[in-house]
Structure 1
Amino acid sequence: MNDTIHFFSGFRPADMVFLAEAAWRTLLVYGVSIFLGTVIGTICGWLLFEGRLLAAATLSPVLDIFRSVPLIIQLVLFYNFAPIVGLNLDPFASGVVILTVYTAALVANVARGGIEAVGRPMRRAARSLGMSYWQDLRYVVLPIGGRAVFPAWVGVALGVMKDSALVSVLGYVELLKASQILITRTQEPFLILSLAGAFYFALSYPISRYAAKLQQRWAQ
């Protein structure tokens, strides 16, 4: 008998579909995390600005922990200890939770910088025109401060896109995990990683280009 068991096979068209599906999963975990993280981070930045001493003593150290501890450690610790407190989360939910908190910690300082970019005289002028505190934030601070820190936020957003690859350690089949699976089967790391890099570029490039166009429009 000359039966042969083949453990490896070449790259097939179906593998490209597999990578595309993994890219969608990457975009999904990234999109949810960057949206929630930006909202929560903006609130935290506002608290840091308005709370000052109180926020510096309570909120700031917590944010520093999430900024300082490597993301992969946060992911593994949360995924393994969450069930102990009764949180039975799947890899996707666990990844979203940690990426959201991590993003919020990064965005908090960006948001605070945006608020500080709006001078006190301008804000006092807005209040003297009859604007309430919340109207001042919406119509003065948000447009001016948001434009000032928009490039920094784009940098955070693109960084989180790349950091989302670390969710693969939880077993979530995103782009990096799918690449590892295909490399193990095809033994073609150069091809697979080149395709994965192309997918990451395709996901990131539109964000950077759209951000550049917005900045040019604001500069006119």
Structure 2
Amino acid sequence: MQEPVSFFTGFNPNDLWFLGEAALKTLWISILSITIGSVMGCVFGWVLHESKSVAGIILAPILDVFRSVPLLIQLVLFYNFAPMVGLDLNPFLSGVVILTFYTASLVTNVARGGIESVETSMRRASRSLGLTYWQDLFHVVLPIGGRTVFPAWIGVVLGVMKDSALVSVLGYVELLKASQILITRTQEPLLILSIAGAFYFALSYPISLYASKFEKRWAK
């Protein structure tokens, strides 16, 4: 007589490896989204600071949509409507697109705040010394303004990394989705969520630590 096969099994080392791979996927989607989104946000912040014309009028409401609408709704809507316009994107690419624009919408205000934190008199002085507009922007505004808003940008980075867990609703097996899969199989939510939380901490804490050291070094 065959022994009955039990669906529920205990947590084993292979499950830990599975969570580790999912953590790397979380890190990968976060790096892509934060890097591209930060660059876009800096450009958008500069546009909003310098332009009061149609570019600024059109761009600001679009960014407000990404800041105001819950990220979960953005992910679901984009993933379901993209095929209607001919975009055949998998969950990973859909997540990258939305997280990138979400990051850009947050970094835009950070970047604009950094530009506006540099006093006008200082910028006029740099121009009077013969610096061009772009030299003033990269050699005066960027070092001073960047130092001012660096902590705020780190906050955005850590926030987006945690928000990347919402991509799990699209079927992308990142850390949260992997945890849900294992909880369903093992029925050990406390253990698995504790391990997942430890992975999130392992991803986030080095960023906070390095940012703190970099900020102190920058302030010297």
Interval of TM-score (by shorter of Structure 1 and Structure 2) = over 0.9
- Mapping 1:94-133, distance limit 5 Å: 94-133=94-133
Aligned-residue sequence identity (percent) comes to: 70
The aligned amino acid for 1:80 is N
1:2 to partner: Cα distance: 5.2
Relative to the length of structure 2, the TM-score reads 0.98
Aligned to 1:57: 57
1:217 to partner: Cα distance: 1.2
1:58 to partner: Cα distance: 1.2
Distance in 2 separating the partners of 1:65 and 1:2 = 59
- 4+ residue stretches of structure 1 with deviation over 6 A? none
1:5 to partner: Cα distance: 2.0
Describe the SS at the equivalent of 2:48. helix
- Mapping 1:141-156, distance limit 5 Å: 141-156=141-156
Instruction: Check conservation: 2:7, 2:185, Cα contact below 8 A.
Output: yes
Distance in 2 separating the partners of 1:182 and 1:2 = 26
The aligned amino acid for 1:71 is L
1:157 to partner: Cα distance: 0.5
Instruction: Check conservation: 2:47, 2:56, Cα contact below 8 A.
Output: no
Residue 26 (str. 1) matches residue 26 (str. 2): yes
Distance in 2 separating the partners of 1:130 and 1:30 = 41
Structure 1 residues 106-136: Cα deviation after superposition (integer angstroms, max 9, x where no partner): 0000000000001111111111111111111
1:54 to partner: Cα distance: 3.5
Aligned to 1:198: 198
Describe the SS at the equivalent of 1:10. coil
Aligned to 1:8: 8
Relative to the length of structure 1, the TM-score reads 0.98
Distance in 1 separating the partners of 2:17 and 2:95 = 23
The aligned amino acid for 1:124 is R
Residue segments in structure 1 that go unaligned for 5+ positions in a row: none
Aligned to 2:86: 86
The aligned amino acid for 2:6 is H
The aligned amino acid for 1:184 is T
Distance in 2 separating the partners of 1:94 and 1:145 = 32
1:216 to partner: Cα distance: 1.1
- Mapping 1:40-51, distance limit 5 Å: 40-51=40-51
